[in-house]
């Protein structure tokens, strides 16, 4: 970070602008808007500066000298003479005065950002002086997104700040109250219509009746790439008090969770269950009953081999409110990033998802239905069962030459794809790092042709044997 973004209080502070042209006008207007006492030094002033009327503005017709800096809190060099601008910056540096040089940020000690003004909400955007045009484009996008009622909403919240502190003694309860006000939209809608008194009445009523109520959001985090999570998932992750996450959620995705949220790892790995499902269920109930907003963050989609249904049944039994946010399931995400279409008119007219291991005493797998030709079968959590998968598919009629792929750490930067034939599946699985998916079907033959993600093309198991030899 080349620059530390800060907001300075300029009210009645003496600020100096060197230059009298159109660029100087823009800087003067910003400083005056912030309440600064602005002095402009220039031998000549443009008409727009001459016509500015403000009690805090002084125009002094003279060329720059070091004495001009006397008593200034900050200075902006806005002349069209680089030598003069550089001298201003050097003199300011010696005196410990903040200096900005227009169009030459490397000369000064601070830069002026592009600003989105919803006072008292202010958003500053900077490119560190590298590309002001791009910073302005980002600002334009923010202008389009941020509603005009943000300013009135912030001012009204300021009115209620001390009331809220008095009636809600804990930081947590106060935060939950403000989230309810800001997220519900009723107050914002009234302010947007100019109904200030009605908005104030709603806030008063909700404050008197406020009691934090716990809820759970079952959220799919996708297969690994954090850019694949949904907008709603991101919003809930940013609002959560507690996040219970599993082993398949990437660290990059976890970094998007609100910083002060409590993170609880309830992950499970094949052959080693660090937290049993019953304990996870108990934690969900406990945190929700304490009045928390809980996010149960699951890799992929929570309703596809994620035990999401089992966890919701427990919440229903305890009368806890919940919602579900689907995610990109691992089969779809990993296959797409491996260049393997799950269906294709010439290769596969159907696709089946199946788990590599089942709950004890669960229904047995119908291998005959999985062994059909021209069908794509995706096995979740199947690495340890690869030999069994190969044998049962071939015993039920699947050709040993059927193309197969193992996608390890799919959609992540360290994704690895191995392709081969069904007869080679168990050998292919040796040494593969989970999480991994097994894809069986004719569509796998397209992987080499359609690969697009990452620098490494799919590894052919047969070719790797040749290379070893």
- Mean pLDDT of all residues in 407-436: 94
- 415 and 307, same structural domain? no
- Is the confidence at residue 358, as pLDDT, over 80? no
What CATH number has the domain bearing residue 186? 1.10.8
Let me know if residue 293 belongs to a domain: yes
Active site residue 268: yes
What CATH number has the domain bearing residue 341? 3.30.950.10
Catalytic residue among 246, 298, 390, 409: 246
22 is in an annotated binding site: yes
For residue 30, give its domain range.
14-112
131 is in an annotated binding site: no
pLDDT score for 27: 95
- 369 and 459, same structural domain? yes
- Mean pLDDT of all residues in 110-125: 91
Q: Is the dihedral of CA 201, 202, 203, 207 positive or negative?
A: positive
299 is in an annotated binding site: yes
Catalytic residue among 213, 268, 286, 388: 268
Tens of pLDDT, residues 17-27: 999 999 999 99
- 323 and 302, same structural domain? yes
Q: Residue 364, preceding bond cis, omega within 30 degrees? A: no
Nearest to 335 by CA among 308, 353, 358, 355: 353
pLDDT score for 269: 61
- 274 and 197, same structural domain? no
Let me know if residue 118 belongs to a domain: no
Nearest to 322 by CA among 308, 312, 330: 312
pLDDT score for 291: 86
Q: Which of 112, 135, 170 is the last residue of a domain?
A: 112
Let me know if residue 1 belongs to a domain: no
Q: Which of 311, 328, 345 is the last residue of a domain?
A: 328
Let me know if residue 117 belongs to a domain: no
330 is in an annotated binding site: yes
Let me know if residue 128 belongs to a domain: no
Tens of pLDDT, residues 370-417: 999 999 999 999 999 999 999 999 999 999 999 999 999 999 999 999
313 is in an annotated binding site: no
Let me know if residue 9 belongs to a domain: no
What CATH number has the domain bearing residue 77? 3.40.50.720
pLDDT band at 222 (very low <50, low <70, confident <90, very high): very high
143 is in an annotated binding site: no
Please give the tally of structural domains in the chain. Answer: 4
- 231 and 200, same structural domain? no
- 380 and 346, same structural domain? yes
- 197 and 90, same structural domain? no
329 is in an annotated binding site: yes
201 is in an annotated binding site: no
Let me know if residue 304 belongs to a domain: yes
23 is in an annotated binding site: yes
- 338 and 397, same structural domain? yes
- 452 and 343, same structural domain? yes
Active site residue 246: yes
The pTM (predicted TM-score) of the whole model is 0.67
pLDDT band at 75 (very low <50, low <70, confident <90, very high): very high
pLDDT score for 324: 97
- Is the confidence at residue 347, as pLDDT, over 70? yes
pLDDT band at 463 (very low <50, low <70, confident <90, very high): low
d(CA 325, CA 439): 26
197 is in an annotated binding site: no
Q: Which of 209, 232, 260 is the last residue of a domain?
A: 209
6 is in an annotated binding site: no
pLDDT score for 385: 93
CA angle 10, 13, 14 (to 5 degrees): 125
- 290 and 240, same structural domain? yes
- 222 and 187, same structural domain? no
Q: Is the dihedral of CA 95, 96, 100, 101 positive or negative?
A: positive
410 is in an annotated binding site: yes
Let me know if residue 145 belongs to a domain: no
- 415 and 289, same structural domain? no
- Between 103 and 29, name the one with better pLDDT: 29
Tens of pLDDT, residues 147-183: 999 999 999 999 999 999 999 988 878 888 898 888 7
- Between 239 and 464, name the one with better pLDDT: 239
């Amino acid at each position: 970070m080349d620059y530390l973004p800060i907001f300075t209080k300029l009210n009645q502070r003496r600020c100096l602008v060197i230059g009298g042209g159109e660029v100087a006008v823009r800087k003067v207007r910003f400083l005056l808007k912030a309440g600064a006492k602005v002095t402009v030094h220039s031998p000549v002033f443009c008409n727009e500066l001459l016509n500015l009327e403000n009690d805090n503005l002084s125009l002094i017709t003279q060329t720059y000298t070091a004495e001009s800096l006397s008593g200034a809190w900050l200075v902006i060099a806005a002349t069209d003479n680089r030598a003069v601008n550089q001298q201003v910056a050097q003199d300011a540096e010696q005196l410990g005065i903040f200096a900005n040089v227009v169009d030459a940020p490397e000369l000064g000690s601070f830069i002026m950002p592009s600003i989105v003004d919803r006072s008292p909400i202010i958003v500053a955007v900077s490119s560190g002086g590298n590309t002001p045009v791009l910073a302005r484009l980002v600002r334009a996008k923010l202008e389009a997104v941020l509603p005009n009622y943000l300013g009135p909403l912030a001012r009204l919240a300021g009115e209620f700040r001390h009331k809220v502190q008095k009636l809600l003694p804990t930081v947590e309860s106060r935060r939950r109250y403000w989230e309810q006000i800001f997220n519900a939209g009723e107050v914002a809608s009234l302010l947007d219509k100019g109904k200030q008194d009605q908005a104030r009445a709603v806030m008063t009523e909700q404050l008197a009746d406020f009691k934090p109520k716990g809820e759970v959001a079952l959220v799919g985090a996708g297969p690994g790439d954090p850019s694949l999570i949904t907008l709603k998932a991101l919003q809930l992750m940013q609002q959560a008090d507690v996040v219970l996450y599993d082993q398949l959620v990437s660290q990059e995705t976890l970094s998007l969770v609100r910083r002060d949220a409590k993170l609880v790892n309830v992950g499970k790995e094949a052959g080693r269950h660090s937290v049993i499902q019953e304990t996870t269920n108990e934690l969900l109930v406990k945190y929700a009953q304490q009045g928390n907003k809980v996010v149960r963050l699951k890799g992929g989609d929570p309703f596809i081999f994620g035990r999401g249904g089992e966890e919701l049944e427990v919440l229903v039994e305890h009368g806890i409110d919940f919602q579900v946010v689907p995610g990109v399931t691992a089969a779809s995400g990993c296959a797409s990033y491996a260049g393997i279409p799950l269906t294709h008119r010439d290769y596969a007219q159907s696709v089946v998802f199946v788990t590599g291991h089942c709950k004890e005493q669960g229904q047995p797998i119908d291998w005959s239905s999985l062994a059909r030709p021209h069908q794509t079968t995706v096995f979740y959590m199947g690495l340890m069962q690869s030999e069994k998968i190969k044998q049962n598919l071939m015993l039920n009629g699947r050709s040993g030459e059927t193309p197969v792929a193992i996608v390890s750490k799919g959609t992540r930067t360290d994704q690895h794809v191995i392709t081969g034939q069904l007869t080679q599946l168990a050998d292919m699985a040796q040494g593969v790092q989970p999480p991994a998916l097994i894809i069986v079907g004719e569509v796998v033959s397209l992987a080499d042709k359609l690969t697009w993600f990452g620098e490494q093309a799919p590894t052919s198991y047969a070719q790797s044997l040749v290379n070893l030899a």
